[in-house]
């Protein structure tokens, strides 16, 4: 339970719940010891966790380096494999721009398959592909959506 509350800004998330300096300032004003990010917004943002810690507060959540590692699907899968955790078949890296190599990887995995953005989440930046004919279009759509939603 919270002992105090403070308005951190207007309803627009970019001006409040996603505004790291504002959240840190509120924590300083209230003389808190720790910050819990809650769900969504900055809960998976390594820069926020780092900012909280560098401002002298305890971040209640994973270490910034863990957030970074797990926030990128390619590095997360590599970490799982190096820890001998079973993973689903995948490309093992970010897909390049060579369509023939992309088609080769897809045939190795088998259809249907899912194209996923390396970052992001929440079901965005993902496309199910049922055939080789639809593959490159799905990749283009996924890249566009990921760029618009996550900047990657």
Task: Tell me the per-residue pLDDT of 74-108, one tens digit each, with 9 for 90 and over.
Answer: 899 999 999 999 999 998 888 888 999 999 999 99
The predicted model gives 29-48 an average pLDDT of 93
Instruction: Provide the whole-model pTM.
Output: 0.74
Same domain for 92 and 60: no
| CATH assignment at residue 106 | 3.30.1490.20
Q: Is residue 29 part of a domain?
A: yes
Dihedral angle over CA of 141, 144, 149, 150, nearest 10 = 110
The count of domains in the chain is 2
Same domain for 128 and 96: yes
Same domain for 146 and 92: yes
Looking only at the bridges linking them, the beta strands covering 58-59 and 113-116 are: unpaired
Helix spans in 87-131 (H): 99-109
Same domain for 61 and 93: no
- pLDDT at residue 151 tops 70: no
Residue 91 structural domain: 87-150
Helix axes 64-71 and 73-82, enclosed angle (nearest 10): 100
- pLDDT at residue 29 tops 70: yes
């Amino acid at each position: 339970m919270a002992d105090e509350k403070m308005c951190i800004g207007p309803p627009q998330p970019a001006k409040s719940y996603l505004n790291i300096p504002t959240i840190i300032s509120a924590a300083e004003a209230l003389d808190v010891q720790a910050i819990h990010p809650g769900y969504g917004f900055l809960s998976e943002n390594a820069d926020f966790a780092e900012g909280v810690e560098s401002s002298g507060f305890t971040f209640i959540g994973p270490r910034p380096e863990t957030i970074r590692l797990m926030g990128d699907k390619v590095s997360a899968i590599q970490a799982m494999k190096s820890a001998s955790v079973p993973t689903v078949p995948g490309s093992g890296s970010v897909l390049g721009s060579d369509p023939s190599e992309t088609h080769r990887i897809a045939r190795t995995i088998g259809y249907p398959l899912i194209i996923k953005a390396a970052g992001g989440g929440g079901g965005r930046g993902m496309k199910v592909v049922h055939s080789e004919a639809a593959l490159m279009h799905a990749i283009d759509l996924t890249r566009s959506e990921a760029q618009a939603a996550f900047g990657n």
